[in-house]
Structure 1
Amino acid sequence: MKLTDLNREGGIGANCLLLELGGLRILVDCGLNPKQVGRAATPDLARLREQPLDLIIITHCHLDHIGSLPVAMREQPEVPVIMTSSSRLLIERMLRNSASVMKRQKEEENIPDYPLFSHGEIERLRGRMTGLAFAHPKRFRGRGRGEEVEIIFHPAGHVAGAAGVELVHKHRHIFITGDVLFEDQRTIPGAKFPSGHFDTLIMETTRGDTDSLDAANRGDEFARLVKSINDAIQRGGSFLIPVFALGRMQEILTVINDARKFGRLVDCPIYASGLGMDLVDYFDEIARKTQHIQFSRSIVKELGIRPLPRKLEAGKDPQQNALYILSSGMMVEKTPSHTLASGMLGHARNTIGFVGYCDPDTPGGQLLATKPGDSFLFEKAGVKTKVKARVERFELSGHADRDHLLQFAVQAAPRAIVLTHGDQPARDWFAQQLAEQLPKTKVLDPQPGKEYQV
């Protein structure tokens, strides 16, 4: 098998792998790098122009895995795209939101390349995307060369629809973890991967730099979150939870609803907004059609969710003594969570609680690294303020604990392991551990754009 990482920057970004199995050319994911703009945010798709693709496989619907998909489909006008049935229900809504965001960015920031695709193009491409059930093998034949590959999707936890991908080609077994979480979430069961030997394992490494001893129990972290919300409200302040639209918004709503049902959450107004609220209806449909997640849209009514005021004013404390659950999870500029935080941060009665991964270069990551009392600049909001509010992190990652992932890799005893989706310190930890525990296994940390024989 030949493998090329098409992610220009490596690390975590525009996730995209080109696999060549004999005469078959398969693309796994085609994401968008959230730290880049324009064409620089896309994978390096020039390599695909040498020969046509036979298939594109999507592991799940976060934009760092699907954000450039329409670009690849435009350049490969015949190639089919497969994903899980749940991802098929989500993908068009995620791509439409991305197109709208890029259109706004073009107008506000004068980015010539944006939008990379339009709503109309998404509509035209929809017939080429197919959803498959978990655990049902499907054979695909390459165009004009007669070779076949068998594909099996396995539940990967992480978010609704996320899949580990098993490929069988001429008696060779390849397994791609995608983004994985083995622990159960409140709305989604943990990963159910097949045990036993694989010839090649392609695995994510996101939390390789996080000591498992520092990882808290998920239930305990949710209890700590509810306690912190109560504390902020009782001190006369507000509590802001920046959330990812896909997955984390729905899980937080479920946990907050449970806390209120059992009398553990103080009475306060709850505001929520963003793409995550639109996805509530999609999660409800997935729960009814596939039964792979547990969620009901009735939660919104039960909690009495209020829409966010249309015009948030940067630098102004809302003074609503309320809970806010807003996108984006990393508090990216010009999002509701970024604007609201610029007004809340300068007041000691408020709390901002992060419940997911924050890239160090994003405003959320920068705020987490800022000490209380220091100044913090909300650059695009034009606000500079001292950090007086409490800023807390809750360990509720959607990615596997590194020891759990290492355990899965060791039991698979593959001939080769390819490290993906992780910053360099995370990859280095896995490389060292795998070298010690699997000395006969070839461990590969691919450089962007370089072809490897695996």
Structure 2
Amino acid sequence: MKLIDLNRDGGIGANSHFLQIGDLNIVIDSGLNPKQTGRTATPDFSPLRGVRVDLIIITHCHLDHIGSLPVLMREQKDAAVAMTTSSRMLIERMMHNSASVMLRQKEDNGGKEPVLFTHDDIDRLSKRLLGFPYNQAKRFQGRKDEITIIFHPAGHVAGAAAVEIHHKKRQIFITGDVLFENQRTLPGAKFPAGHFDTMIIETTRGNTERPLGKSRVEEVARLITSINDTINRGGSFLLPVFALGRQQEILSILSDARKFGKLVDCPIFAAGLGMDLADYLDEIARKTKHVNFSKNVIKDLKIQPAPRKLVAGEDPKQNALYIISSGMLVERTPSYTLASGLISHARNTIGFVGYCDSETPGGELLAAKTGDEFLFKTAGVKAKINARVEKFELSGHADREELLEFAVQATPRSIILTHGEQSARDWFKEQLAIKLPQTTVIDPVPLQPYQV
């Protein structure tokens, strides 16, 4: 098998891999780097020039895995696109949101920001998007060779899948983004045990040691306590969330807490794509039984729309709970603007419940200390950090120890590391060298071909 990591910057961002298996050319995911704009935010598809891609496989519908898919599909006009049934129900809505964001950015910047694809592009390409159930083998034929793929539930978010590929006597396993623990809205990953010849594994939490005494149940309780304390002292609590998965999970957690009288009575504001996606997850829950979510939680919590015109550097002083994106406080998003107004007041709290790239404003804020000056560059705000900034271990990604255990039991001949910062990948390299000394571990250099 030939492999090329097409993510031009490595790390986490524009996730995409090119696999040549027999005479079939396959691309796994086609993401977008949220820290970049224009073509630099996409994978580097130059190794695919002159190559006919037979199949594109999507592991799940987060932006860093599907954000450049219409670009790739335009360039590879014959490639079918395979994903789970649930992802097929979500993907067009996610891509249309990206098109709207790009159009808005172009308007805000006087036409300088390029638009990678349009709503018309998505509609035109949609007939090539194919959804398949979990745990059912599907064959794809090349010119001479044939592969069989099986999607396995990967937890993480609705529709997320690991991909098992069979070619002749060879078995390849791609974890995608995975969470083994159960969430309120989604059961944990269910992967097949046993040997695989080659594995491609995510390494997101490789630099995060499993915290002692911080089970998911205990972290949920700590979150509710922190919200109550903030509201009771007259402050506001900002929960930056990812629109797909994390926002619906938090809504379900808060709804349960409210039902059992554990959540303080306060206004709850929410906005953005995540609220729209609540309808989609409700439908997926009814049609596939792979999701446990009801849009009724929005009514039960008496959710109010977040103010459309948040003012940078200004605290709305609503003594309220805000659940808005982006989850990493990416610049020019509602959570970024609101955080710039809340951060200087000790009564407020900003609580992170998901992964934060160290180079995003969210990651930088988590690394800062109380009393530091913090610059919200695109908002034009510099403020002293007086608010509480907290991290709750409710990530949608598996602990490194769980992933390591799964990899070790599979005794693969080769392991390829992906979707992690360098320090995270280094931890996996060190541990795998000890526990699987006969296994070849590859941390691929972007755009460099590997024979695996």
TM-score range, shorter chain: over 0.9
> Matched residue of 1:212: which SS?
coil
Matched residue count: 452
Preserved contact between residue 415 and residue 439 of structure 2 (Cα < 8 Å):
yes
| Residue 34, structure 1, aligned to residue 34, structure 2 | yes
State the secondary structure of the residue aligned to 2:59.
coil
1:412 and 1:111 map into 2 onto residues whose CA distance is 51
What is the aligned partner in structure 1 of residue 55 from structure 2? 55
Matches within 5 A, 1:413-428: 413-428=411-426
Q: Is the 8 A contact 2:38 2:113 kept in 1?
A: yes
Which ranges in structure 2 are unaligned for 5 or more consecutive residues? Answer: none
Instruction: Give the secondary-structure state (helix, strand or coil) at the position aligned to 1:100.
Output: helix
TM-score, normalised relative to structure 2: 0.98
Task: Tell me the residue number matched to 1:130.
Answer: 130
Q: For residue 408 of structure 2, what is the aligned residue in structure 1?
A: 410
Any idea what SS the aligned residue of 2:305 has? coil
Corresponding residue for residue 14 of structure 1: 14
Q: Which amino acid aligns with 1:139?
A: R
Equivalent residue, structure 1, for 2:198: 200
Q: Which residue of 2 aligns with 1:107?
A: 107
One-letter amino acid of the structure 1 residue matched with residue 384 of structure 2: K
Q: Paired residue for 1:81?
A: 81
Give me the whole-angstrom Cα distance separating, in 1, the residues matched to 2:374 and 2:424: 28
2:265 corresponds to 1:296: no
Q: 1:365 maps to what in 2? A: 363
Q: What is residue 232 of structure 1 aligned with on the other side?
A: 230
Gaps of 5+ in 1: none
Aligned to 2:272: 274
Distance in 1 (CA, whole Å) between partners of 2:90 and 2:433 is 39
Deviations 1:247-266 (A, max 9, x none): 00000000000000000001
For residues 219 and 432 of structure 1, do their structure 2 counterparts lie closer, same or farther at Cα, with a shift above 3 Å needed? Answer: same
Shift of 1:102: 1.1
Give per-residue Cα distances to partners, 1:140-170, cap 9 Å, x unaligned: 111xx13110000000001100000000001
Q: Deviations over 1:215-258 (max 9, x none)?
A: 82111111000000000110011111000000000000000000
Matched, 1:386 2:384: yes
Q: Which amino acid aligns with 2:276?
A: D
Asked if structure 1 preserves the Cα contact closer than 8 Å seen for 2:105 and 2:113, the reply is: no
Secondary structure, counterpart of 1:313 in structure 2: coil
On the 8 A contact 2:102/2:113 being kept in 1, the answer is no
Could you tell me how far apart the structure 2 residues matched to 1:35 and 1:385 are?
22
Aligned residue in 1 for 2:326:
328
Pick one of 337, 340, 348 that aligns with 1:339.
Answer: 337
Equivalent residue runs for 1:126-275 within 5 Å: 126-142=126-142, 145-213=143-211, 216-275=214-273
Deviation at 1:2, TM superposition (A): 0.6
Does the 8 A contact of 2:153 with 2:159 survive in 1? yes
- In 2, distance between residues paired with 1:60 and 1:111? 31
**Structure 1 stretch 111-120 or stretch 5-14: which is displaced more?**
111-120
Matched to 2:131, the amino acid is G
How far apart are the structure 1 equivalents of 2:225 and 2:183? 19
Residue type of the alignment partner of 1:267: D
Instruction: Give how far 1:110 is off.
Output: 5.0
Structure 2 distance, partners of 1:69, 1:373, is: 43
State the TM-score, normalized to the length of structure 1: 0.98
**CA displacement at 1:112 relative to structure 2:** 4.2
Q: Which amino acid aligns with 1:135?
A: N
Overall identity of the aligned pairs, in %: 67
* CA RMSD, 1 decimal: 1.1
* In structure 2, C-alpha distance between the alignment counterparts of 1:442 and 1:311, rounded to whole Å: 53
Cα deviations by residue, 1:351-370 (Å, 9 ceiling, x for unpaired): 11111111121111111122
Contact 1:138 1:150 in 2 (8 A): yes
- Offset at 1:3? 0.5
Does the 8 Å CA contact 1:205/1:430 hold for their aligned counterparts? yes
1:435 to 433, 438, 442: 433
